[in-house]
Structure 1
Amino acid sequence: MLTYRKRAAGAALAGVLLLAGATACEGGKKDGTGKAAAPSPADRRPSGRTADAKDVEALTTAYGKTAAAKSAKVRMAVSVPQSSGGAGAPIETTGVQGWDPGVVDLTVKGASAPGLGSGSMRVIGLKDVSYVQLPADSPLASGGKRWVKLDLKEAGGTTDVLSKLGGLGDAPRQGQDPARQLALMISSPDLKRVGTEQVAGADVEHYAGTLTVDELLAAKGSNAVLTPEDHGKLVAEMRAAGIQGYTLEVWLDGAGLPVRTKTVAHTPGGSDAPHKRFDVDASYSEYGAAVTVQAPPENETVDLFGMLTKLGEGA
């Protein structure tokens, strides 16, 4: 029971770190048995691309505005799968996110687990380094050190541990910025304008589409907002995370900026690994909001590597 509680805490903590852009991933598991894998986004899509040139132009313009804004306030719900492949409870966050440079300062709710503590947590992301402030009553805090640190430059060694804790070894990057999602949507072969809807009392335009890694490859050179280098990075990220494809939605306000995005990342599954989906539902406001965060003092932080290794061993 003690080992289970510690592993559950470690899995919850890893899920929280995903919100700050932390990624512990390697090539997705392949189904080499000949058995059917889980349905891909392509199997669930409406037939044909119904978006016209005006719709693509609207998304292209929105991409430019969003990229130029560099930051926004965000409210996000993220669901990461359990080890069985089933969806976990949503992790709810509010705060501010920057994507040029990459930085976040979030308050996280809904990530509690046995052994982790109660109450909200603060998450800071500074480029390649993420920090989580544990709840005051967390038994994982030791010697007054409530901040947990993960340096992505050294993250290659955590994949096996994360996988044991919560099936997160092939987790995709969850903290995607809205400009990146717009770029993916423009390449969608079934992109469509859903119609005019209301969000927070204002009229917005709703767009939807799906995209597999093979379709993204085929779209090279046809996406007006992606340079060849950017295109290659997106393909490499999807492959490295074991992502089969995305289901994408975006809502643009009257100024042509995303006020909401929904992204579902799908992994293939198979006999040795269940199909998994990672859901991110984000709302954005106050584009250009200041993001000023600092790393916590080093003497108040504990390294995630050692902590997760102990948890994975059942220590």
Structure 2
Amino acid sequence: MRPVRKVLLGVATAALLAGTAACGSDSGSSDAKGNGGDSEAGSGTSARSAFEALTAAARTTDEVTSADVVSVSRQGGTEAVLDGSLSWADGIEMTAVMTGDEFGSALGGSGEVEVVWVDGVMYMNLGPQFAAESDGRPWMSMDMVALMEEAGEDALGTVLSTSMDQGAQSPAEQMAMLLESDDVEWIGEEELDGATVNHYKGTLAIEDVYELQGTFDGLSEEERASLLDLLSEQGTELYELEVWLNEDDFPVKVSQSYDTAMGPAEQETTYSNFGTEVNAEVPPADEVIDFVELMQMLGAGF
């Protein structure tokens, strides 16, 4: 299987990029309190401040807990796209198709990878050619926590574990975080897919983002300091969050961005069909090979 090692590492890079963007907590978004800014929204919400509008959006996404999503993530020249359905009712569940610069059709498939996300583990169907070289197992699983622990980044593994458990990519938590920004403001009215939306933006210190999402819970003071040092070394200090709300107070578009040692990282997600049914099922165990196990088989170090 050595000829596919480079491709698999590319797949892993794309998957990590798509799956581990900064995220929110499960602390109850509708109760979030923040400064909210003093800017007023335009027509349709002209009587509301940014805080009021975002509080309404936090409430709607706390009550309606699923949607169809298209998420585009970019970092260090790498791009990954997830197109599917997402539920954040009880942790994250997702079914999607992933495409990315790093893998395309190199594994003999169509260039599209079926993805299932359940309980913090991403499962990817890499197709018949991959299955032929992995004892008939077409699915590869990526446990983000195990990956970081294998790499010797135990604190980062804890970060990822907390993130997965508490709702990565939940728009409800994204609204709650934006409400905590000291400089959240209304940017203005814009047209999006033929509809008028209101655009809001705020900035948070990355340490505050991790505090809000509960990342530091369970970490010792030494581990917390180590994590913050690592973030500082990577140049990750500020986290920008933007949201576009429709007339029904649903966030139809969310953009996140921050700096890293690999360059700027950004993720843009559009939401539609709120309340859609999501049926994410773990593939049969005899059809799955774990990424860490696979890399060990290939002799690829971390």
Q: TM-score scaled by structure 1? A: 0.69
Does the 8 Å CA contact 1:116/1:140 hold for their aligned counterparts? no
Indicate the larger mover: 291-300 or 305-314: 305-314
**Alignment match, 1:110:** 100
Structure 1: gaps spanning 5 or more residues: 24-47, 82-86, 162-167, 218-229, 268-273
User: Counterparts of 1:217-296 in structure 2 under 5 Å?
Assistant: 231=212, 233=214, 242=231, 243-267=236-260, 274=261, 276-296=263-283
1:97 to 86, 94, 104: 86
Are the structure 2 counterparts of residues 62 and 122 from structure 1 closer, same or farther at C-alpha, using a change threshold of 3 Å? same
**Alignment match, 2:196:** 203
Are the structure 2 counterparts of residues 248 and 312 from structure 1 closer, same or farther at C-alpha, using a change threshold of 3 Å? farther
Per-residue Cα deviation, 1:247-272 (whole angstroms, up to 9, x for no partner): 111000000000001111323xxxxx
Does the 8 Å CA contact 1:7/1:312 hold for their aligned counterparts? no
**Alignment match, 2:293:** 306
Does the 8 Å CA contact 2:37/2:51 hold for their aligned counterparts? no
Aligned pairs, number: 259
1:60 aligns with 2:71: no
User: Counterparts of 1:116-265 in structure 2 under 5 Å?
Assistant: 116-118=107-109, 119-138=111-130, 141-152=133-144, 154-160=146-152, 175-214=168-207, 231=212, 233=214, 242=231, 243-265=236-258
**Alignment match, 1:51:** 39
RMSD: 3.7
Q: Which amino acid aligns with 1:96?
A: S
**Alignment match, 1:70:** 65
Per-residue Cα deviation, 1:170-201 (whole angstroms, up to 9, x for no partner): 98969522112111111112211010111110
Per-residue Cα deviation, 1:147-172 (whole angstroms, up to 9, x for no partner): 011345644433359xxxxxx9x989
Higher relative contact order (CA 8 A, sep 6+): 1
**Alignment match, 2:10:** 11
**Alignment match, 2:31:** none
Q: Distance in 1 between matches of 2:150 and 2:108?
A: 22
Q: TM-score scaled by structure 2? A: 0.72
Does the 8 Å CA contact 2:39/2:186 hold for their aligned counterparts? yes
Structure 2: gaps spanning 5 or more residues: 23-35, 41-47
Are the structure 2 counterparts of residues 308 and 50 from structure 1 closer, same or farther at C-alpha, using a change threshold of 3 Å? farther
Identity of aligned residues (%): 25
